[in-house]
Structure formats: structure tokens, C-alpha cells
Structure 1
Amino acid sequence: MSLAFGTRKGSDEADAGPTGPAAPSTQHLLRRKRRREAARTLAFLSPWLIGFSVFFAYPLVSTAYFSFTSYNGFGAPTFSGLKNWDYVFNHLPTFWQGLRNTLWLVVVMVTLRVVFGLGIGMLITKVKTGAGFFRTAFYLPYLAPPVAATVAFAFLFNPGTGPVNHLLGELGLPQPGWFASADWSKPALTLLAMWGVGDLMVIFMASLLDVPREQYEAASLDGAGPFQRFRYVTLPNISPIIMFAVVTGVIQTMQYYTQAIVAGKVASGIAGGSGQPFEPGFPNGSTWTLPQMVYKLGFQSFNYGAACVVALVLFAISMAVTSILLRRRSGFMASDD
């Protein structure tokens, strides 16, 4: 009987072993699995997280911090409260002029670039012969260095000796001052931006060629004309590409710097060389933009606090405009709401 009892006891202990307190519970195993999955996900995301932290989050936080300090780049920053913000908004009149110019360029330049790029893309997709030549011809200006392209445009649009005004005079048309006129300097910069619209043209061409042909055929059978086919077939299919072009155009134009300052230099008679005095914004502040103000305040006046304020204003406007565009859509774009 003792042998049988012992055997039965050992069997009971063996049966109870896997479900005893020493065995890991199901919840514990699930937690370990989730931790492993989270660690694996973080490992894959680590390159992006490091890049985001180093090149975006840290600079943004530092910019916000320096905007509340008095800092010249040499000594230690000292807290100054809202002094820099008050100086920029209330005692720096060129800030509002630069803001107006920048917003003008965003509204006019981005709109015309998108419309012109879309129009050129649609025309080239309709070309039966020589499409490759026209694609190359319209894309090559985009590859021109910004400084060289701006200098060339400034000489072409020279109000006194430029061939553009000479041709306009031969046709009996008005001859604007272009880069030398406060009223025409921003339109001239817009023409320069439209000349280099090859990047948008290529993107729009790819999206237009991707529109299903059967939708055009169905619309034609229903009696839709060219405008109706464009409105109800083309636009809904390429609206994400138009959104991409508008959002990236707004962000790039809010950082508009090189072309404006080079055009002002050339128009004022300073074609190159160092050590020559030049006040950005020629003529009469019409080409003065907020990115130029950031450079002047930070790297010429060594007023890093005020420069950070202007940089934060640029960032806030860019984020606000982008958010509105993404949520509400705009103008010619079809809404999915």
C-alpha cells in the first residue's frame, strides 16, 4: 500500500508541475512578447528617431529657448523674457515688410507655379511627336544653379539694356523696371520661378499618365466635354499630387532667400565680389524676405534671440498654412470631405 500511495503522490506532483506557481502565466508570456515586439519596432525606427531628434526636435527646442534669451553667440545666454518678441513685433519695421513680401510670394508664386507646371505637363502628354525633346527643354532650367539663373534673368530683364524690354519696345508695349522697380521686382522673381518649373512638370506628367483611360472614355460616352473631363476625371485622380506640390511649394517659398538677395544685388549694381556694402531688399525693400532677416539678425548683427523669434514665426506660419491645406483643401483641388 505504501508503494501504491507513493506512486500516486508522485503522479499527482507531476501532473501539477506545469500549472504550478513556478510556471510563467499566460499574461506574463504576452507581456514578454509585446516587449520583444516593441524593442524590434524601436530598433527599426531608431535611424529615423535619431535623425528626428538631432535635426528637428533639438533645433526646434533650442530655437524656442534662445528666443527668450539675450545671446550673441559668444557669451552664455541670459534669460530676457519677451524682450526679443517685443523688439521684433513692435520695434523692427522691416519685419512686417518682410512678412508681407514673403506671404505675397507664397500666395502668387506657389499658385502660378502649380498652375503653370500642371498646364505644361498636360500639353506635353498630348504631344504625339517630340515629347522627349519638350520634356528635356522644360526640365533643363530646373537644373540651373539658382545664383547663375538669377544673374542671367537680371541681365535679360535689365530695364535699360535687357533684350526683354527691347523686344517689348519693338512691339509697342510698356517696358517695366523689373528687378529695379519696387512694383515689378516680385513679379520678376515669380517669372524666374515659373521658368524653373521643370520639377513640377515631371511630377504632374507622371500623375496624368497614371489616370485610367477608361474613365475618360466613359466620360466621353456620357457627353462630357474637355472641361468636364478635366474637372470630374483628371482633378480627382491627381488631387494628392496637387496637394503635394502646394504643400512643398509653401514650405520652400517660406525659405525663399537666394534668388531674392542675388536679384537685389545685381539690380543695384553689385554683381559680385566681397566687401561691397549692400542692404538686402533692393529696391525699396520689395525683395526683403523673412529668411534674409534671420540671416541678418543672426549672422550679421549677432542678435540670435531676435533671429530665433523670426525663425519661429516662419515655422508657425508654415505649419498653419500646411494644416489648413491638408484639412480643407484649396482652390482648384477636389475635396474628399
Structure 2
Amino acid sequence: MALDTETSHRYAEITLGALKQSGLSSTPDNYELWYAHVEGGNAALSSAIQKATDKDGKLSQEKADRLYKEFIQHAELSHDMMKLVARFHEEVSDLYDVVEQGGENATGHSEKLTSISDQLTAAASDTPNVGDLLESILNVAKTMRAENEALESRLAESASEVSALQRDVEAIQAEAMRDALTGVANRATFDRSLVVHMQEALDEEEPLALLLGDIDHFKNFNDTWGHQTGDQVLRLVADVMNNNVKGQDLLARYGGEEFAVVLPGTSLANAKMLANRIREAVQSRRLKKRRTNEDLGVITMSIGVATLNENDSSESLIERADQCLYAAKHAGRNCVIGEEELSQKQADKGVA
């Protein structure tokens, strides 16, 4: 929903003040990053900014650039790519149908091939980054149109070519759904999939559990050993977690050093067992610096576990899992807290 003029001006003033306080210059990228934070519509961004800011409220330009790339630039590119791939998939499917059915009347389909070619040309002008793929598709269409009289004898070969192009598009679509650093599902995929899995669980009256895990002391580790080693830690944790989930389970990078696992058909007890297995597997892996083979010790994770209630929204389920994660951090880290333990702790405080 668009903001009214007064509110947008107020946000702009707050943004400029926040930039000054953080020690950053008012560049377009910095302004866009801080405006998104001030507007309050991106909780993951706001959390990442708070974690990256030092005790004096300052933020380095290097960290600001990294946050802008992850939460502003990458999000926009991912959104544009998803729309683009959906359009390509539909257009190539149309072309495939034309080739498959062309044996009945090759001449009659020439006009439809021309129309599809024009649509693909327009798509290429809007998104030049995938021009090579579009050029291949256009060449198929142009060749079939130019050789219309011989189309019937080439149908099998052409259908194979178009099928290969469809697979290329599907590969691009799959890539857009993954986190670039770790290779697991990204935040956008997690958000969409959680809603779908929740509805399926309610419809089928099956349980569903959600794990939220956070790498302990990751900021100190990152500051001590550098961001490249920090990225190595994130990839290691993602690999370990991925080796412990299976089937319809969904592992995603939730944001920063946080990971989420959606577990359809899983009770709270079984979800906690899996969470502890993941925690122990992460702890068992010693980390070494790649270039020097220097032993950096072990890393640990804290994990919160919540299960779906009948009246839950995706936000309320995530919030309970996050509260359990916070409780695990507060309990000393490197542990798993389920929502029944959190409820008991809250009840004990009430009695006290």
C-alpha cells in the first residue's frame, strides 16, 4: 500500500537521521537500505542491521554494502527472475505444443510460431541477462518458419530441441529459489512453502513442526576470522543440516546465520530429536582455515522448535519457534528448546 505524503516525508527524515547517527554517507544505496529498515516491512533486514551495528550505533560501509546486496539488490533480482522464468516457461510450452501438433497441418501453425517469436523478442529486450537462452529459442522458431514445407519431416528433432530448452528454463527457475551462498532454499522459497505446508497439514489433520536454528557467537567468529571464513561456516552448517533432512522436509536459510526447517507430518517429540541430531552433527565438525589448515575449533547451534496449532498463521508459528530459539540462547546456547519447555518456564515464572 502506498504511503501518504506526510508519512513518506517523516520516514525520509528519520532515515537521514539514522544514516547520520550510523556514520554512513547519504548515498542512494545507503538511503534505500535505511529507508527499508525505517519503514519496518522487512523484519529480517532490521534484525541484520541491529546485529551488524556496534555498541556505539555505528555501521561500516563494508557491512552496509553487504546488507544492501543481500536484502535490497538480491531480493529485487530474485523477484524479477521469478516473474521472467514464469513467462518464459509459458511461452516455450506454447512453442512445444505447436511442434508436437504440427504434423497435422504444418502450414497452419506458421502464424502461431511468428506470434510466439515476437513475444520472445519482446521478452529479450526487457531482460538482456538471459539473451543467450532466448536467442536459442528464437532460432528454433525462425528455422521452423523458414523451412515450413519440410516441417513435418523435422518434427521429432524440433520437439527434442524445445524439450531441452524447457529443461534449461526449469533449471533457471530452480536456481532462483536457492540461496546463492549455501545452496539451500532461500527466504522467499521458505515463506511460500511454509504457507502451503501449513494448509496441507490442516486439511489432512496432520502435524507440522518448524525448527529455527542460529549459529552461536557467529558475529564474534566473523569479526575474528573474516567474512570468507564466516561464509565457509555457513556453507558447512547448511551441508550438515541438509544431510539430516529428507523427503518433503524443507531446509532454508532464514537470514544471516539463521536456518529454518519445515517438517510436515512430524510431531514435537520427533522434531526435537531431529533438532538435537543436527546440533550434535554440527558440533562434531571441526573447522579448519582452508589456506593455512589452521584449526579454528568447533561451532555450535541453538535451535527452537514449535508445532502448528489450528489457529496459527505463518507469522505466529515463526514467532513461537523464534521465542524457543531465544530461550535456547538464554539457557547457555548449544541446546534445543521446544515450545512445551518454554510454556513450562513461563508457567514457573508465573507461580514464582
**TM-score, with length taken from structure 2:** 0.22
Q: Which has the larger radius of gyration?
A: 1
Task: Report the TM-score, using the length of structure 1 for normalisation.
Answer: 0.23
- The higher relative CO (CA closer than 8 Å, separation ≥ 6) is in 1
Bigger strand share: 2
